[in-house]
Structure 1
């Protein structure tokens, strides 16, 4: 790279394939947005082409002689892919530089170039940089020059910049610098502690969004088949819960391989993935990516007395897929001994059918593995990894994904799914296939009992169910139509008893979304825990039950039937609570009311989903659902039915009363006021006023005042934080 002062007037042009007509419109909308705004982001699924769109935006600024910064966080692979023109094996932009930990650049020369850039107008320049390198001590001068002269910052995977050093860096730019974020998942964190891209800056707004189902319906992404295979293992016996439900505060669970028995269970679970693969993947030379789980404790009987094995599960999975290890053999071994030397290569030095990749491997070897994996029709066909390749791994030819790691992060889950949704004319891929191995989570309710009422642990526990994650993944856009047209398939699979392997008998059962039966099952567990308790005012239990009630949806008559049965059970518990002689005066006063309020809120939520999400249903179908839920079968009266639920279940009988109380909650929940309430007042406030938050949520569309209140990020965050407190 030479100094700008030494660069003659540029004659070469940047060649890019033209944008499709629909993306041209988005391109123009983004440019128009930045005429009056400083920062914004687009939200589109992985594989949609956001990086390609960003190259056209870069070119626009570049051709106008402006300075563009393309910024990523901890993703040198993505940075390099964007910097280079693969076809010509040279930088995409002639006047550009790549600054990352893997690309050593003379920082003094780069600083001189940037200084000259600020003095010499009309010469476009693009700097592709890693956030961590820009913020490093050796790049202090470069950082200052970037902040001074940058016209446009494009941040790929901007969700990695939420409330951290990246957030702070973006807020250092002056008003003249435009900031465009791109993401498939505009949030970060696990259930109970999720932060959004909008929080990066006050004027950070969504410019454009498109959902995964919409992209599949528009043939921009491949059709998707998601298959769930249930293992016979108890999740408590497979994963490490040493810190109890606190383990759910992280994005991943850790495997526990610390004893021979637990290691056998892990091998059985991984073998199930191999059996499903052998039975259902017809094209054996299709490329398959396996996401494995991290291991916290030392692996038993492998790698020496004290030596831990890095990326153990990825190595174990590759050995199982290669047939080196089988669950059947290990069942007979009292002291199972694994191969100390997990191998990626045959004795002739060629890749085996299944290999692993990990950060401990030299960079050259990692690149060699990835290059070989991308080559169609040749081994390796199966690539096993733990945390690598979740973001920024661009391989349209990937046909199959196997998930062996339960995650509590929807962002991580969506990124994983996005690995197989890219279209590939080269491989001729007809659809992306995903297989997830899921475990029984019933033991978590049995072992931790009331502990599931702490914070948002109920939501975290249920996130371990694939159906719950899939419901959230397909909650936006026209997912129902994509499912009806067969472009999205969700199945459960059971392997027959007549043997395993290729050609084994496979039974597939469609999975319904919303997963009402699963939600009802775990909702009933919360009801049972509440029913067993005989002390207190039950305010915490009521909040959790009310919050869970708002997650139900009615899409068809069967959903209504399951909710009607659940509602009848709640009503039964309410009647029994009036006669419960175990209860003291306080509990006798509150427990029946808790069940009564939850019952009517559940019915209200069913009516809400019918009103706002029931456009696919005919009028007779809607009336049958109303009758099933115990209401007059006349859809014209649905709003009067909703108000009836509010009147019978809530302390506030009308919407104006709700508005008044929630306005009071808003004022009271401010830090200036809440901190001065004594403990007794706080408990009284939570018990008597906070339930109005859940009722108010159901009437947002009926009241401009409630809509404005609930759309206030500050108020929403304040109230949520208070609700989460024990």
Structure 2
């Protein structure tokens, strides 16, 4: 147990490397913000230096004799990194303490120190603590003193504090305490059920933001190369869909290794990652992190009874990368035989080239693996894990990341990408490289049919497509310029055999963003499912088609050509629905209107992206795009074209009508009101009012009233998800 006597009295100043000029400005802006505000957060990518900036903020308060709390949730390594001055092997702040479960501090002494500091004033102090320890029964007195005397609370990874005990704890602070949140990903949850940092409190505001592309362009993060390798496997045959599309409500899909055939397919898919690695990673000693997929069911042929194997895919992947198992060796085997014991060490007790890390390993062994992995030029070179190291793993020397797990969480995806974007003067890496193994998702539309229209399943299914996830990742900031300058590369690889015994041939093909052709492909699938149905008013189908329409972007003529084909197809379906005598009376009344509304919203979204995101296009190019979309080729008239779409497609023909309807939606969608609506009213809310949200979003910049509504914190999360995931 650590005694507070070990905490030295403040006899020396805190020494920090100076901030760069641009970060000095941010530092000053944050201090100025807190002169009149209590809460705020900054959003910057992993590796930008937010913890370093926070140390300068803490030093300012520390020198003024203030009491501070540096708080994290579930990330003790990050807490320790912030607490220590590694160069001097001592605490960064002479008057400070570190409190978390694995470091047992005398709580009575700490409480006495906090009480004395709170009453005495004039002496700076920083408590670095984990949320779980503060909320523990043994820390009740410490918690009360923190809430009473803290001047500044800095919350790292504040996205972990949304709508939970951490959120409740932050809301217990009084007006004297300033709260600064820091995050690379200001949201939680899977597509369709996302919660945002702004929901922590009504006065929580974004103070500063910088995007990944902007940081790469400014040389604050390493250039990035993202390579997609498509397996020949059907995602339905690789992952476990025991609960149907309900599996997409989780952050991750589970591998299915429960039969010989399924296990062989998983091995082939993992072998593909090894083949890509062998062909494309030129520096054989480059440090590589592999994120593997979880396994829910018992693995065929390994283990006894129904016993599950912890981190099985990480163990399997390390064995494949070490050459213990190969897909080729298993081709002739009817039933694959795997080693029961997966080994991280050579017979001489040294680390193998590829190793796995899992929570079941003793802490000392985990620490030894991580320490060895951080040592450049020595094994292990490949580290395989399932759920560990996604957040807070700080290793600038990491050059390569391999993704073997599709995720439905953009937060998780961004955190994974952030592992390889740090600059590293030690390794001298020129860029961070990411390889993702993707599978065909076509079968999900075929197998589940109209089920994809339930809830948010359309968005969830499409999020399994890497190009769509990348579009979401690069939706903010000047990604187009970073791509044009070669600082962000996105490629697909096509694999073939060079010839007998000559290995695998790799061909790289550039990937275009936005992925209009892919979105058009899946939009057509939704149209085909709708065309086949006779389901009354087609309410679900309309909402999901409209949501999908708002995902499209036009960056070049080719995008406009794709959308023009789609719009023509929708128009054709509309005309056919008018004449389809097989439809019931209700369907015949509504189906053509559904297609008509979708057609004009699709065109409106194309016009919006041309107007607001087309700065890189010449006037001539813009006019050609307008002509391709079926409008008069005069960019000066784009606003009249947009209003024409609203008039012809929407039930609310003018912007003032939209303002009126959406004001009603805003009142109904507030949590206080929505919970008291009966089922019939809620269905009416979805059917009649929700489509107006899609139309309204397209005219935010045209109407101050709409802008105020859409930026309001009063909107319920159901509407926020629509707005912010567009």
| Same-fold call, TM cutoff 0.5 | yes
Residues 671 and 308 (structure 1 numbering): CA distance in 2 closer, same or farther, change over 3 Å?
A: closer
Residues 3 and 723 (structure 1 numbering): CA distance in 2 closer, same or farther, change over 3 Å?
A: closer
Residues 108 and 523 (structure 1 numbering): CA distance in 2 closer, same or farther, change over 3 Å?
A: same
Matched residue count = 726
User: What is the deviation of 1:4?
Assistant: 8.2
Aligned ranges for residues 134-283 of structure 1 at < 5 Å?
134-283=134-283
User: What is the deviation of 1:724?
Assistant: 15
Residues 668 and 125 (structure 1 numbering): CA distance in 2 closer, same or farther, change over 3 Å?
A: closer
Residues 11 and 725 (structure 1 numbering): CA distance in 2 closer, same or farther, change over 3 Å?
A: closer
Partner secondary structure for residue 423 of structure 2: coil
Residues 500 and 277 (structure 1 numbering): CA distance in 2 closer, same or farther, change over 3 Å?
A: farther
1:393-438 CA distance string (max 9 Å, x none): 0000000000001000000000000000000011010000000000
Give distance in 1, aligned partners of 2:522 and 2:674: 33
Q: Which moved more, 1:125-134 or 1:84-93?
A: 84-93
1:495-522 CA distance string (max 9 Å, x none): 2221699974211111111000111111
Partners of 2:546 and 2:598 within 8 A in 1: yes
User: What is the deviation of 1:713?
Assistant: 2.8
User: What is the deviation of 1:675?
Assistant: 6.6
User: What is the deviation of 1:670?
Assistant: 5.1
Partner secondary structure for residue 402 of structure 2: strand
Partners of 1:4 and 1:117 within 8 A in 2: no
User: What is the deviation of 1:710?
Assistant: 1.5
Give distance in 1, aligned partners of 2:23 and 2:720: 38
1:354-391 CA distance string (max 9 Å, x none): 00001111111111110100000000000000011100
Give distance in 2, aligned partners of 1:627 and 1:477: 29
Partner secondary structure for residue 714 of structure 1: coil
Give distance in 2, aligned partners of 1:478 and 1:723: 21
User: What is the deviation of 1:669?
Assistant: 4.3
1:524 aligned residue: 524
Q: Which moved more, 1:618-627 or 1:302-311?
A: 302-311
1:547-572 CA distance string (max 9 Å, x none): 11011000000000000001111111
Partner secondary structure for residue 715 of structure 1: coil
User: What is the deviation of 1:668?
Assistant: 4.4
Q: Which moved more, 1:460-469 or 1:646-655?
A: 646-655
User: What is the deviation of 1:119?
Assistant: 2.6
Residues 265 and 397 (structure 1 numbering): CA distance in 2 closer, same or farther, change over 3 Å?
A: same
User: What is the deviation of 1:674?
Assistant: 5.8
RMSD of equivalent CA atoms: 2.3
Partners of 1:455 and 1:724 within 8 A in 2: no
Partners of 2:4 and 2:106 within 8 A in 1: no
Partner secondary structure for residue 229 of structure 1: strand
Partner secondary structure for residue 332 of structure 1: coil
User: What is the deviation of 1:350?
Assistant: 0.4
Q: TM-score, normalised by structure 1?
A: 0.97
Q: Which moved more, 1:653-662 or 1:474-483?
A: 653-662
Residues 352 and 499 (structure 1 numbering): CA distance in 2 closer, same or farther, change over 3 Å?
A: farther
User: What is the deviation of 1:681?
Assistant: 5.8
Partners of 2:571 and 2:599 within 8 A in 1: yes
Partner secondary structure for residue 494 of structure 2: strand
Give distance in 2, aligned partners of 1:308 and 1:2: 38
Partner secondary structure for residue 233 of structure 1: strand
Partner secondary structure for residue 616 of structure 1: coil
Partners of 2:670 and 2:714 within 8 A in 1: no
Partners of 1:4 and 1:116 within 8 A in 2: no
User: What is the deviation of 1:57?
Assistant: 1.0
Partner secondary structure for residue 438 of structure 2: strand
Residues 653 and 500 (structure 1 numbering): CA distance in 2 closer, same or farther, change over 3 Å?
A: farther
Q: Which moved more, 1:398-407 or 1:29-38?
A: 29-38
Give distance in 1, aligned partners of 2:145 and 2:723: 45
Q: Which moved more, 1:574-583 or 1:687-696?
A: 687-696
1:316-356 CA distance string (max 9 Å, x none): 00000000000111222222221111000000000000000
Give distance in 2, aligned partners of 1:416 and 1:676: 40
Give distance in 2, aligned partners of 1:723 and 1:220: 30
Residues 8 and 431 (structure 1 numbering): CA distance in 2 closer, same or farther, change over 3 Å?
A: closer
Q: Which moved more, 1:370-379 or 1:94-103?
A: 94-103
Q: Which moved more, 1:90-99 or 1:508-517?
A: 90-99
User: What is the deviation of 1:582?
Assistant: 1.0
User: What is the deviation of 1:213?
Assistant: 0.2
Q: Which moved more, 1:668-677 or 1:26-35?
A: 668-677
1:138-187 CA distance string (max 9 Å, x none): 11111111111111111100000001000000111111111110000000
User: What is the deviation of 1:87?
Assistant: 1.2
Give distance in 1, aligned partners of 2:722 and 2:642: 27
1:271-302 CA distance string (max 9 Å, x none): 00000000000000010000001110111111
Give distance in 1, aligned partners of 2:32 and 2:721: 37
Q: Which moved more, 1:178-187 or 1:59-68?
A: 59-68
Partners of 1:40 and 1:179 within 8 A in 2: yes
User: What is the deviation of 1:6?
Assistant: 11
1:446-495 CA distance string (max 9 Å, x none): 11111100111000000000111100100000000000000000000012
Partner secondary structure for residue 642 of structure 2: helix
User: What is the deviation of 1:39?
Assistant: 0.9
Partners of 2:2 and 2:106 within 8 A in 1: no
User: What is the deviation of 1:122?
Assistant: 1.9
Residues 640 and 312 (structure 1 numbering): CA distance in 2 closer, same or farther, change over 3 Å?
A: same
Q: Which moved more, 1:414-423 or 1:121-130?
A: 121-130
Give distance in 2, aligned partners of 1:12 and 1:123: 12
Give distance in 2, aligned partners of 1:676 and 1:223: 51
Partners of 2:296 and 2:308 within 8 A in 1: no
Give distance in 2, aligned partners of 1:681 and 1:305: 51
Partners of 1:563 and 1:629 within 8 A in 2: yes
User: What is the deviation of 1:40?
Assistant: 0.6
Partners of 1:491 and 1:511 within 8 A in 2: yes
Partners of 1:220 and 1:423 within 8 A in 2: yes
User: What is the deviation of 1:678?
Assistant: 6.4
Residues 651 and 501 (structure 1 numbering): CA distance in 2 closer, same or farther, change over 3 Å?
A: farther
Q: Which moved more, 1:192-201 or 1:652-661?
A: 652-661
Q: Which moved more, 1:216-225 or 1:583-592?
A: 583-592
Give distance in 1, aligned partners of 2:564 and 2:377: 53
Q: Which moved more, 1:579-588 or 1:612-621?
A: 579-588
Partners of 1:670 and 1:718 within 8 A in 2: no
1:666-700 CA distance string (max 9 Å, x none): 34445676677666665455434432221111111
Give distance in 2, aligned partners of 1:365 and 1:487: 37
Residues 2 and 132 (structure 1 numbering): CA distance in 2 closer, same or farther, change over 3 Å?
A: closer
Partner secondary structure for residue 435 of structure 1: strand
Residues 277 and 645 (structure 1 numbering): CA distance in 2 closer, same or farther, change over 3 Å?
A: same
Give distance in 2, aligned partners of 1:364 and 1:490: 39
Partners of 1:314 and 1:357 within 8 A in 2: yes
Give distance in 2, aligned partners of 1:273 and 1:6: 49
Give distance in 2, aligned partners of 1:709 and 1:173: 29
Partners of 2:192 and 2:721 within 8 A in 1: no
User: What is the deviation of 1:723?
Assistant: 12
1:242-284 CA distance string (max 9 Å, x none): 1111111111111111111111111011000000000000000
1:130 aligned residue: 130
Give distance in 2, aligned partners of 1:678 and 1:455: 19
Give distance in 1, aligned partners of 2:500 and 2:542: 47
Give distance in 1, aligned partners of 2:17 and 2:296: 46
Give distance in 1, aligned partners of 2:273 and 2:718: 43
Partner secondary structure for residue 401 of structure 2: strand
1:219-253 CA distance string (max 9 Å, x none): 00000000000001111111111111111111111
User: What is the deviation of 1:662?
Assistant: 2.3
List gaps (5 residues or longer) in structure 2: none
1:506 aligned residue: 506
User: What is the deviation of 1:718?
Assistant: 5.6
Residues 523 and 61 (structure 1 numbering): CA distance in 2 closer, same or farther, change over 3 Å?
A: same
Partner secondary structure for residue 153 of structure 1: strand
- Do structure 1's residue 72 and structure 2's residue 72 form an aligned pair? yes
Give distance in 1, aligned partners of 2:418 and 2:502: 27
User: What is the deviation of 1:58?
Assistant: 1.2
Give distance in 2, aligned partners of 1:151 and 1:678: 45
Give distance in 2, aligned partners of 1:689 and 1:312: 48
Residues 346 and 534 (structure 1 numbering): CA distance in 2 closer, same or farther, change over 3 Å?
A: same
Residues 719 and 94 (structure 1 numbering): CA distance in 2 closer, same or farther, change over 3 Å?
A: closer
User: What is the deviation of 1:10?
Assistant: 2.9
Partners of 2:30 and 2:207 within 8 A in 1: yes
Give distance in 1, aligned partners of 2:5 and 2:305: 61
Q: TM-score, normalised by structure 2?
A: 0.97
Q: Which moved more, 1:95-104 or 1:497-506?
A: 497-506
1:417 aligned residue: 417
Residues 99 and 571 (structure 1 numbering): CA distance in 2 closer, same or farther, change over 3 Å?
A: same
